[in-house]
Amino acid sequence: MITVITDIDCPWCVKFHNEIKYYVSEKIKIRYVVHVRNDKAMKKLFQLGVQVIEINRFHLLNKEKNKNS
């Protein structure tokens, strides 16, 4: 397992995230620690978090719907 300290505005972090499939294919587990350098990045991170919550909610609702069908 590796721990990645990441910032969504960091170009090196973006490069790493674009290469993540390689690490997953090698069965390397990744733990993320988010580092926010400024208010703009914090706002982006918050918006991303809201989107992730909505996507997870959508998948859970569909899973329940299919389970009850």
Summarised one tens digit per residue, pLDDT across range 38-61 is: 788 788 878 877 777 787 787 888
pLDDT of residue 27: 92
* Domain count across the chain: 2
The model carries a pTM of 0.48
What is the predicted pLDDT for the residue at 9?
80
Nearest to 13 by CA among 56, 51, 39, 44: 44
Q: Are residues 68 and 43 in the same domain?
A: yes
Coil, strand or helix at 13: helix
Residues 14 and 44 in one domain: no
Reply yes or no on whether the pLDDT at 13 is more than 80: yes
**Is pLDDT of 26 > 90?**
yes
The residue segments making up the domain with residue 44 are 37-69
